């Protein structure tokens, strides 16, 4: 499984680094069954994050033909002022004027590919019109915005909607990465990485399976 972690100007570093490290460690633990790299729509470049003074270097272009898994982080910035240039929504919206949405659509249109998101990454997909009618989660402050785009917002730490797997707040990138390892390589690899990172996963991964709960508010939005 080849994974590409997408970077864009204003991205949240923890959203990207947490799944990167988990997947990279999974590749080591599995003898190379997983490879991972940082990518942008434009190709190799230094990418400024939304945290002042912190940038990461992408080494590849986002390639729908090479990537089996694409992980999309959210943006770092102001979560309350939607008009500020440092606003999360403004920074996510700026990606719509790049080549990123078309590349992400190409990934999602290819059978056998998985797109995963951390925090506001699901909002980026939603703003690009790529997950209408799909179940997804995001940061708790963005749930109403996610629901308003036509996605079905689910209040869970990780939501598995088949070829779309989404994580909630920033630190959920660890849980998302571990779940993807378990889903693709099995629980022993995921457990080994979990022990290495001294991190116990939080919450139950939401999937549209099993009995439907009655009389419990277990999801958000229209789910």
- CA 221 to CA 206: how far, in whole Å? 14
Q: Are 154 and 110 in contact (CB under 8 A)?
A: no
Q: One of 7, 108, 119, 128 is an active-site residue; which one?
A: 119
The radius of gyration computed from the CA coordinates of the chain, to the nearest angstrom, equals 16
φ and ψ at residue 114, rounded to 5 degrees: -125, 135
- CA 53 to CA 50: how far, in whole Å? 9
User: Two tokens at 195?
Assistant: 């022990």
- CA 6 to CA 74: how far, in whole Å? 10
Burial 54-73 (b: 16+ CB within 10 A, else e): eebebeebbbbeebbbbbbb
> What separation in angstroms does the CA of 42 have from each of 12, 13, 33, 46, 86?
18, 18, 27, 11, 22
Helix (H) / strand (E) containing 19: helix 13-29
Query: How many residues are given for the chain?
Result: 223
| 134 carries an active-site annotation | no
Catalytic positions are: 119
């Amino acid at each position: 499984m080849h994974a590409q972690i997408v970077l864009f100007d204003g991205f949240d570093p923890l959203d990207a680094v947490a799944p990167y490290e988990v997947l990279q460690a999974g590749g080591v633990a599995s003898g190379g069954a997983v490879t991972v790299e940082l990518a942008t729509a434009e190709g190799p470049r230094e990418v400024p994050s939304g945290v002042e003074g912190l940038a990461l270097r992408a080494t590849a272009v986002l390639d729908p033909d090479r990537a089996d898994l694409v992980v999309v982080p959210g943006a770092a910035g102001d979560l309350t002022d939607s008009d500020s240039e440092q606003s999360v929504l403004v920074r996510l919206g700026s990606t719509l004027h790049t080549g990123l949405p078309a590349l992400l659509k190409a990934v999602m249109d290819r059978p056998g590919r998985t797109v995963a998101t951390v925090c506001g990454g699901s909002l980026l997909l939603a703003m690009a019109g790529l997950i209408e009618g799909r179940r997804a989660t995001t940061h708790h402050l963005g749930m109403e915005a996610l629901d308003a785009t036509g996605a079905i917002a689910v209040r869970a730490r990780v939501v598995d909607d088949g070829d779309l797997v989404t994580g909630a707040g920033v630190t959920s990138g660890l849980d998302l990465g571990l779940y993807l390892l378990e889903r693709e390589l099995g629980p022993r690899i995921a457990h080994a990485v979990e022990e290495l990172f001294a991190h116990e996963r939080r919450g139950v991964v939401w999937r549209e399976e099993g009995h439907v709960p009655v009389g419990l508010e277990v999801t958000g939005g229209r789910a």
